[in-house]
Amino acid sequence: MASILIMVLVFAGYLVMYQVYGKFIGNKIFRLSDNNKVPSVELEDGVDFVPTKKEVIFGHHFASIAGTGPIVGPAIAVIWGWLPALIWVFVGSIVMGAAHDFGSLILSMRNQGKSLSEFTAKYINTRTKYFLFFIVFMELWIIVAIFGLVIAILFKMYPQSVIPVWVEIPIAIYLGYLVYKKGTNLAVASIIAVIVMYLTVILGAYVPLRMPAVLGLSPIAVWTIILLIYAFVASVLPVTTLLQPRDYINSHELIVALVLLVLGVLFAGFGGHLHIVAPAVRPHPAGSPSMWPFLFITIACGAISGFHALVSSGTSSKQVRKETDSLFVGYGSMLMEGSLSTLVIIATTAGIGMGYIAKDGAILTGVQAWTHHYASWAAAGGLSSKVGAFVEGSANMIEAVGIPKVIAMTIMGVFVASFAGTTMDTATRVQRYLLTETFPKTFRNKYISTGFVVLVALFLVFSSGANGKGALALWPLFGAVNQTLAALALIVVTIYLKGRSKWGWLITALPAVFMLVVSLWATVENQFNFGSKHNILLQVLNVIIIISMIWVAVEGIMIFSKTKYSPKLMDEELKSAA
């Protein structure tokens, strides 16, 4: 019953805060108006700038910001107990994450769809833009490389997901053709597409496909190469060809997954089979870093994530068809992600107790199941452990609805892999935008810029040899880099609001300060950790990140202190945009 109560209270809280706090920010602070020009209409080109219905762009935006983030973060953070993770997901997503995503989206839309780096140059200065560029490039480089590896590992863990994930691509392309070329009703066509996709899920559950080693390359390395080739193709195609229809299917897939999880919680909960078996608070798990600040670094997506600012100011700002849609897309998507993370917390602290298969084949239940999986930081820290805890716990709950566990596990495996794929090719497209805007003479051609993105990702992937796991070398940097980026994005939004709202800038300033403190704290602790392991590469890169973080923060604070509130500034800006 505790799981049901948590779910109901959190979901109700999100609905209330969207209607109250979200709409207050949109209407009173940013003063959204459909009279304002938006980049998708002003710069429409049929490739990247395309006016899109809010339901469709919501699907793209959510699928891009989610990936595996709202799953793997909470799935490891519950090692400190379910209560700290739940509080951070609930409060963080409402007060920090949603304001961060929405603010970044609006700033980009009011600057012709430009990226975070570009409007940083406008609101702070040009030199700051290049320090921020380094952080953004590092983040995207790691994401493109690591998500290829992530999906490859998921295919190895859940070979049942291979057929559904790949068949979704032609289904999405045909859906795009029907909707954009033939004028077929979107709702009808998409429902049929989703039904066909879930038929392939049933097929995949009983026909798993396993990749063999090829030419001395491990199966994971082969999958990673194929996935990066896919990312190249997907990110140069017009958004209406694959990105939008695929992500619209993914949005339906999200609804199906959430409905199944909610039903699973209700059926298992009321049936007396679902109990929270994790401790509320566990301050010092074996081998783990300190809860402060690493809880706020470990759970990024689901609470606040710098990558979301890149999606908001990358692909999404170029497709939102009118300004008032941005609240649903930017603020609403973040709360939806928080909802998913809440269900992940329930699955990994209660669902896992319904039945867990240990590596030796023993079937564990109750507290013993959770304690075995989360015995130490090392035991719970690998990707397979993180995703496995979620999929296993979710499948247990869904089985209570009457769906066979093998199909339930396939559904969740496909769900995770599909969203990870969206994140990977969106990151590839966003990095292409970043290179084109920063170095327009060199990277004007989209094929050259995208090729560069994929090649540097491949270089990182194979830097460790034929196993294709080279991206793991930089993975320890990602959490702190990602949350640093969130803090810096909030600083830019705060400077923007300082000149346009007498006190509205506080809604982003306070989160900016908090994220800056915990990110710097974690980055410094990482530096000592890298030093103790004599890892020169990570030490050097981490120092550059710290310097860049401090530089952007100091420059931002200086500009903030000089920025004066002018009630006419917002009026003039909106008038010129109308």
- Per-residue pLDDT reduced to its tens digit, 371-428: 989 988 887 767 677 788 899 999 999 999 999 998 999 999 899 899 888 899 899 9
Scanning 237-287, the segments in alpha helix (DSSP H) are: 243-270
Query: Quick one: what percent of the chain has pLDDT higher than 70?
Result: 98
Is there a domain that residue 96 lies in?
Answer: yes
Residue 361 has pLDDT above 80, yes or no: no
Is there a domain that residue 264 lies in?
Answer: yes
Q: What share of the chain is helix, strand, coil (3-state, %, to 5)?
A: 75, 0, 25
Please, which residues bridge with residue 364 across strands? 356
Residue 138 has pLDDT above 80, yes or no: yes
Is there a domain that residue 563 lies in?
Answer: no
CA 394 to chain centre: 20
Q: What confidence score (pLDDT) does residue 248 get?
A: 86
Q: What confidence score (pLDDT) does residue 469 get?
A: 86
Query: Residue 515 and residue 486: Cα distance in Å, rounded?
Result: 7
- Total number of residues shown for the chain: 578
Segment 525-538 mean pLDDT: 94
Segment 8-23 mean pLDDT: 98
Is there a domain that residue 50 lies in?
Answer: yes
Q: What confidence score (pLDDT) does residue 467 get?
A: 84
For 356, the enclosing helix (H) or strand (E) is strand 356-357
153: its two tokens: 């590992």
Residue 386's contacts (CB-CB under 8 Å, 6 or more residues apart) are: 71, 72, 75, 76, 380
1: its two tokens: 């019953």
**What b/e string do you get for 291-329 counting C-beta neighbours within 10 Å, with b at 16 or more?**
bebbbbbbbbbbbbbbbbbbbbbbbbbbbbbbbebbbbb
The residue segments making up the domain with residue 343 are 2-477
Is there a domain that residue 573 lies in?
Answer: no
Each residue's pLDDT tens digit, 215-249: 889 999 999 999 999 999 999 999 999 988 998 89
Is there a domain that residue 229 lies in?
Answer: yes
Q: What confidence score (pLDDT) does residue 578 get?
A: 62
Residue 479 has pLDDT above 80, yes or no: yes
Residue 440 sits at φ, ψ, to 5 deg, of -65, -30
Scanning 302-373, the segments in alpha helix (DSSP H) are: 306-312, 325-326, 332-349, 366-373
Is there a domain that residue 491 lies in?
Answer: no
Q: Report how many domains make up the chain.
A: 1
Segment 60-82 mean pLDDT: 91
Q: What confidence score (pLDDT) does residue 475 get?
A: 87
43: its two tokens: 């710069």
Instruction: Give the pLDDT band of residue 566 (cuts 50, 70, 90).
Output: confident
Query: Residue 222 and residue 149: Cα distance in Å, rounded?
Result: 10
Segment 74-80 mean pLDDT: 94
Instruction: Give the pLDDT band of residue 66 (cuts 50, 70, 90).
Output: confident
Q: Tell which wins on pLDDT, 111 or 467.
A: 111
22: its two tokens: 């979200």
Return the residue matching tokens 């979710």: 394
In this prediction the pTM is 0.94
Conformational region of residue 44, where left means phi above 0, alpha means psi within -120 to 50, and beta covers everything else: beta
Is there a domain that residue 227 lies in?
Answer: yes
Segment 138-153 mean pLDDT: 91
Q: What confidence score (pLDDT) does residue 396 get?
A: 95
Residue 214 sits at φ, ψ, to 5 deg, of -135, 125
Segment 444-462 mean pLDDT: 95
Each residue's pLDDT tens digit, 250-281: 888 888 999 999 999 999 999 989 999 999 99
Segment 471-481 mean pLDDT: 89
Q: What confidence score (pLDDT) does residue 577 get?
A: 63
Residue 461's contacts (CB-CB under 8 Å, 6 or more residues apart) are: 145, 148, 149, 221, 224, 228, 468, 469, 470, 471
Segment 447-463 mean pLDDT: 95
At 318 the three-state DSSP class reads: helix
Which DSSP string corresponds to 469-508?
-GGGGTHHHHHHHHHHHHHHHHHHHHHHHHTT-SSTTHHH
